[in-house]
Structure 1
Amino acid sequence: MTRLAGELRQAAEEAVRHDGDRSRAALRGAELLRLALEEHEDRGEGPCPACATGTLDGGWRATATASLTELRRRSVAA
C-alpha cells in the first residue's frame, strides 16, 4: 500500500510538471507572436526577422492575431 501511494504521488507530481511546461511554452509562443506583431506594426510588410524565409503581411497578421488570442486563452485556462 505504501509503495502504491508513493507511485501515485510521483505520477501526480509528474502531471503537474507537464502542465507547467505546457503553460510556459504557450506563454513563450504568445510573447514571440506579440513581438512579431509589433515588428509588423512598426515596419510594415516584409521578410520575417526570425526565419528570413516567410513574409509578414496582412494574411500573416490575421493568422498571427488569431493564434495569439488562442495562446492567451489557453495560458489563462491552464
Structure 2
Amino acid sequence: MADVRASVSPHPAEERPMIRDDALEQLRHFAHERAFGSQIGSDQLIQVGLDALIAGVDSPSLGMLAGLPRHEEPEAPALSAGKR
C-alpha cells in the first residue's frame, strides 16, 4: 500500500496534508489535461478523487470514484467526468 501522505501533497518534499484549495487545483489540472486529450490512468483518477475527499471536497461522483475497487477501475474516466 502506498504512503498516503506522500501522495496527497502536490509538493512531495513537504509531506503535508493536502488542503481543500490544493485538491481543487489538482482536480482542475486533471480536468484540463483530459479536456485536451491527455490519457490519465484510472489509478491516478481514483487517487485524485480520494485526495479531494480527504481534503474536504465533496461531491457524489468523487465518493464513487474514490471508492472504486480494482476490478471497476475502467469506470474511473466516466466517473471523473460525472457521466455515471
Q: Is TM-score (shorter-chain normalized) higher than 0.5?
A: no
Q: TM-score, normalised by structure 2?
A: 0.28
Q: Which has the higher contact order (CA 8 A, sep 6+)?
A: 1
Which has the larger Rg?
1
Higher helix share: 1
> Which structure features the higher share of strand residues?
1
